[in-house]
Amino acid sequence: MSDIKEFSPAKRRMYMLLSEYWIVLVFLLIYGIFIILEPLCFSLPFLSSTLNYMTEILILGVGVMFVVITAGIDLSIGPVEGAVGVGAALTMRSLVPVVGVPLAITAGVIVGILMGMVIGLLNGLIVTKMKLAPFIATLGMSVILTGSGYIFNNGLEVVGLPKVLARLGNMQFFGFIGTTTIVAWTVWLIFGIILKHTRFGVITYAYGSNPESTARAGINVDRHLIKVFMISSTLAALSGVLLIFRFNTGSPIAGANVTLYAIASCIIGGTSVLGGRGKMIGTLIGAAIISILVTGLVMLGVQTYWQQVATGLIIIFSVYADQLRQRNAFM
């Protein structure tokens, strides 16, 4: 009847669990080492600052994950943050005298999000209509956006924004959960549900698994891919707006380094760059690993450059482990 290799069910389940969640163990291991080296890592303030640090990578990671699942990549997410940060901040600052603080802030947020949607639309159109590889399309876009971010305000940070921004952006709930953390985890949850339970999610996986088969099933794959790029850019824009709230400025250099960390967070979490596979929980853990490396090393007083070295090692190690797992699964 069957020609699949049969494990005993218990052994199989054990193997599945381990191969799905070994990355959690990696996180716990890293955290455990930090706690041993510096017991203060086992504290609410440490947790709070890690959660806070993590928000940016998490939001970007959730968005770019959709693109990675389609076997694409979006290199423009960091620069979107910078350009949107400056664009939205300028909108707020120039509108405050005209319409007052609340409306100006609202308008800035809307402008920022719209910028993200338009950038995603452009990325999607370049990929689907001009038929450029996502790598090229978004590389070009990222350079354009970085330049634009500087042009908007002559390369300067946008300062002099209403103080209420930072007050809203740095509120603490239950003593350790910040505003941005709540936004980030909500985004993670909503988009996790979309990915796992909706038609949109199914088609995203299907496209990454085999774009031609997906098109032949009667699906308008170009339109889907455009939407996927819009999710990535729009979430990057949201993250850019949140940075304004957190730091009370709009900075063109915001997002300069985070693109690769966000992509790394999905990859560490098991999303395949070949497309078709990846789980939201993995991206959360990937983001947590990268973040705790930063906050933990800071706590230990180690130069944070070591965090980059460690993240790089973990990327290589985790993808290698994933490959081994896949090879086994398909035998």
Nearer to other proteins, 308 or 326 (CB): 326
The token pair that represents 214 in the structure block: 């997906």
Cβ atoms < 10 Å from Cβ of 37: 13
Residues 264-267: contacts with CB under 8 Å, at least 24 apart: 264/290, 264/311, 264/314, 264/315, 265/57, 265/58, 265/61, 265/289, 265/290, 266/61, 266/64, 266/65, 266/68, 267/68, 267/315, 267/318, 267/319
Cβ proximity to other proteins, 169 vs 275, nearer residue: 275
Which of 136, 274 has the CB closer to other proteins?
A: 274
Which residue matches tokens 């031609």?
212
Instruction: Decide whether 52 or 204 has the Cβ nearer to other proteins.
Output: 204
Longest Cα separation, the chain: 75
Taking the least distance from each CB to other proteins, the nearer of 15 and 200 is 200
Shortest distance (Å) from residue 227 CB to other proteins = 12
Distance between CA 168 and CA 178 in Å, rounded? 10
Q: How far is the CB of 273 from other proteins (least distance, A)?
A: 13
Nearest to 219 by CA among 230, 232, 208: 208
Q: Which residues bind other proteins (CB under 8 A)?
A: 1-4, 197-200, 202-203, 205-206, 208-210, 212-220, 275-277, 329-330
**Smaller CB separation from other proteins, 175 or 218:** 218
CB 323, min distance to other proteins, A? 15
Nearest-CA neighbor of 191 among 242, 230, 133? 230
Give the shortest CB-9-to-other proteins separation in angstroms.
12
Q: How far is the CB of 224 from other proteins (least distance, A)?
A: 11
- The nearest distance, CB 201 to other proteins, in angstroms, is 8
Q: Are residues 44 and 196 in contact, defined by beta-carbon separation less than 8 angstroms?
A: no
